[in-house]
Structure 1
């Protein structure tokens, strides 16, 4: 199977999982976890296109940005940009992930599922299933992982093919973005310019991306 067919198969599987999720859940029972990163932005773009179909036009997506303690200003600005670009409200909630999930479930007891942009190359995600319940001790939710089998090349291919907006940090050598306390430009993208200054290539030029994508996380 060539690369194009492999990617198209992954995209179709993602769409099928999302279709099933929207068919089996009411709008108030589900939300998208959005952090302004490239993966969840691709997911938001796919969902936006899906919800424009006739059978889903009345489906209002709940979208929540769990804002870290020390976020990059560029991420905050990009989240605002996505609200405008996709004409959707992205609710900002501050705090640790577990605490925020508890608040979400307390405020809306109808919540049943969370759509996430996790991929197998993410920490602790290699054994995840596309549909999986939260671990013991966490708020009871179904985690829906439509991008689980995508790789970094797939993500950037989709972004480029569909003109998906992305945070400006990716053009400055950041490849996996957390917050200011744990993220630096990826050293594998570092180079010295003709004037002798240290600079970084954009994220989509990273070689062996699945191996080195998180080299900028500290």
Structure 2
């Protein structure tokens, strides 16, 4: 399928810039997922097709711009550190799910490159605003090798739906996932001991998240914390852009989002978002992707 025909095929399945209703159903159980190279090439093709779409939808054009910038940040992180020195903070939430998809789509073409020596691992905060061009076409790009390393810091009282989705998606996307039921700092200290080669961690933090206001694309951890470079490829995405990407590309997501949850924590501090209550009924909620305002995203969090 050519790039143009791929674009047309995806456009035909969409109405007004969104896919037909996505139920967020669980990833297929009991079926072995495709091999990692196949998944990465498939996601790369999806992203390429999405970026070549010609659309009058202003929101989707903004998402396309955000994707280009985020992939530029990811490619810069790959250039600085190499895949073997990078990890992803992953908890199954919508933001890190978008980030995971973008990272995997960037991996073809990098597997054949040697990781940079330790002396070249930079700690600057500068990065390009657009992707670094790769002269190799998708069909001849090197296949990704080792699974993407990831850390899952578990809530003290996790939702079973979140635990299930993390396990299923980690298997589907071949994540090398380390799970820590610890507070953040002890979890990162343990991860640093278990994975001493990790120099940088991708985070799905966005500007409207707590402590996200002044972050850049590359920020070292604070003094007294385990020393990693924090990489924030989706820092400038808005809530509606996250959901437009997920639904437009038909990415499976945690079912709690279909039940009115908009920000996932634990069972003791998270509830459906009251802004999504149906006609004021506190027992019925519209899905998370119908929320429009960034400022209302965390109304369901204590």
What's 1:214 paired with?
298
1:69 aligns with 2:153: no
Two-structure CA RMSD over aligned residues (Å)? 1.9
What's 2:175 paired with?
88
Q: Unaligned regions of 5+ residues in structure 2, if any?
A: 1-56, 110-140
Whole-Å Cα distance in 2 between the matches of residues 112 and 86 of structure 1?
22
Deviates more, 1:71-80 or 1:40-49: 40-49
Larger radius of gyration: 2
Bigger RCO (CA 8 Å, 6+ sep): 2
CA contact under 8 A between 2:151 and 2:191: conserved in structure 1?
A: no
Whole-Å Cα distance in 1 between the matches of residues 59 and 291 of structure 2?
18
**How many residues of Structure 1 are paired with residues of Structure 2 in the alignment?**
215
1:133 to 220, 225, 236: 220
1:32 to 77, 85, 88: 88
Deviation (angstroms), 1:70? 0.6
Whole-Å Cα distance in 1 between the matches of residues 158 and 221 of structure 2?
26
Q: Unaligned regions of 5+ residues in structure 1, if any?
A: none
Q: Runs of 4+ in structure 1 displaced over 4 angstroms?
A: none
Question: Where does 1:131-210 land on structure 2 (aligned, <5 Å)?
Answer: 131-192=218-279, 198-208=283-293, 210=294
TM-score normalized by structure 2? 0.67
Deviation (angstroms), 1:55? 4.3
Whole-Å Cα distance in 2 between the matches of residues 114 and 56 of structure 1?
22
1:3 aligns with 2:59: yes
Task: Write out per-residue CA displacement over residues 14-65 of structure 1, whole angstroms, 9 at most, x where no aligned residue.
Answer: 0011111112213332210001100001111111222244246225310111
1:156–1:174 CA distance, 2 compared to 1 (3 A): same
TM-score normalized by structure 1? 0.92
Per the alignment, in what secondary structure is the counterpart of residue 19 of structure 1? Answer: helix
